[in-house]
Amino acid sequence: MKKIVIIPCFGEGHFIEHQLQNLIDNLNPTHIIYNEGLFPKGPENKGGVNDQFRSNYCYKNTNLAWDTELVQETINKYSKLYPNTTILWNSVDYTDVDANNCYVYSVSNFKELGIDVEEGDLIFPIEGDVFFHEDDIEALNEMINSLKPNEGLQAPYLDFYQNQYYTEGDSLDFERIHKRRIVIKFGTWEYYKDVVQNFTSQKYPQLKMFPKYIFHYAWWRPGKYLELRFSQLLRSPAYHKDIRTALQQAKENFKEKIDLRKNHPEDSLSRYIVRIEVDHPKHIKNHPNYLKFQ
């Protein structure tokens, strides 16, 4: 049985070494694949790519990110450190289609990589800013071992802003917290693609619930990585201003809740990021956004 982690990425070099170690230590995969390439319309299909964007964020005249050399060097390093795990970097040139179709392709292109996916193989289609907590792996493996082909797991995602303390207010409500697919036991391509095409809607009625948090560092973006995130999300200037202000206040790390979406009602959890204290995966604790105190 193969255990394949497959990740579309663009501009995630600041995470890659931390994530690779997290995946190897926790999932013990047979394969880890990073498909690097620019989705033409942004990660949420709200953006567009023009010459200025390419000049700022692409590597030379390619669809790769400016930090691709770091990504490739790190993958090469880990391939040598862990020769029993097949760790691949692959350049993908996506056609001008919506984010859903780009994503489906980015986690399904096994044939071109020479990987024969068979019934019973486990596929983890995740993103480059997702981490598993080491304390949850025993429970995760128990649920995985009970899966049949054409079954899989989803889990609640804790979305963190700026550092380890601030997450979306909605995360305090299990019914409203974002839930995403984490693993699928392969049976048929029809089932697999039916699951992963829900990337944008984030609704997975086909999947069982793994009742532990997955750690999603969606807004841990130092320096140029943060500017990339804003450039990919074509929203109003007020929206960007509110998020920048919230991130700055989170960096100061003293408020219990911070306005994130000022157009939401004051009594709505979705208006805020809130301060919480939870233990984070050990592999993220050397990331520059993780606050350390003497």
pLDDT per residue as tens digits for the range 156-208: 999 999 999 999 998 888 888 989 999 999 999 999 999 998 877 778 989 99
Roughly how many angstroms between the first and final C-alpha of the chain, as a whole number?
45
pTM, rounded to two decimals: 0.94
- CA dihedral (104, 6, 156, 12) positive or negative: negative
pLDDT of the residue at 294 = 43
Nearest to 199, CA basis, from 212, 181, 215: 181
Question: Looking at residue 45, what is its pLDDT?
Answer: 47
The answer to whether 285 and 21 are in contact (CB under 8 A) is: no
Q: What does the pLDDT read at residue 199? A: 73
pLDDT of residue 174: 84
Q: What pLDDT score was predicted for residue 101?
A: 82
Query: What integer pLDDT is reported at residue 34 of this predicted model?
Result: 98
- Tell me what pLDDT residue 41 has: 64
Are the C-beta atoms of 19 and 6 separated by less than 8 Å?
no
List the chain residues with pLDDT less than 50. Answer: 45, 294
